[in-house]
Structure 1
Amino acid sequence: MVRKCLSGLIAGAGLFLISSSVIPAWTQTPPAETFQPGPWQPVARVNPRQPISIKIINRTAIPIEYILTTQTGFRRLSPGQTAQLSNFSLPAYLNINPTRDRTAITYRVSVLEKTNAVTVEVYPAGSVGLHSINIDQTGAIYVY
């Protein structure tokens, strides 16, 4: 019994170490009063009571596809191009995918508070990539 519990504990610790090294540790600037370091913290915030816009900039060498899940159909964005999204409700889910297999992407997300504008810059990544951005009903922006 003790051996079974110990092996489960070791397996769980190994899984935690593997997942910790794969999931990026995002931080929010400036930090919220409730901010605790860890992978599931918002990277930025918008004011959910004002109109929100999202600007996507493709900084990769390949086309990407994106979709705001409240809209229909993927749209393509060539390298160096920019797309603008607006007039959507929260929660909003933005999915961005590389058009080539075995290509990973990552994001740099920033918010211009004065205009409630979100900028998502898409970059090539190492072996682990990101695919989704969520703006929840409170205005918190999560990347995963």
Structure 2
Amino acid sequence: MATTARTTSSSPSHPLLRLRLAPHGPLPRRLDGVWWPHSRDLLTQLPPLLAALPSAWGDITGITVDATAWSSAPGRTFVAGQVVRLHKATTPHVPDTVILLSPGHGRRDLLVIPPDTTEEAAGLLMTAALDDRAPGTDGEA
């Protein structure tokens, strides 16, 4: 599995980005990655997230989030040199998911681990969410 964790600085004002992306493959996936933000302040968490995404994902121009999970934010914001439309769904199809839209490149879904999750639990969730094995299989015969 591919793991992406980039940092602009290790100072407290720019903490490590906690993001794990699924490997690219021929079959569609339910989740394209897992993101563990440091807070529920969408406007401070989006710039490092968008900056760390693979260029193959294209320019993200639309983002849908669960309205109940994030702080208030305008309908549009300027991130990474581009305008990004923010849609806050009141009844998301999949809670705790961020949906990223890129014209010509499609949709990417990231599972969001709540910021207050312990490091141990978040690590387990990040691994389990991107595990390709069928539930209940552990690789034993």
TMscore range, shorter length: under 0.3
In terms of Rg, which structure is larger?
Answer: 1
Q: Which has the higher strand share?
A: 1
Please give the TM-score of this superposition, normalised by the length of structure 2.
0.27
Please give the TM-score of this superposition, normalised by the length of structure 1.
0.27
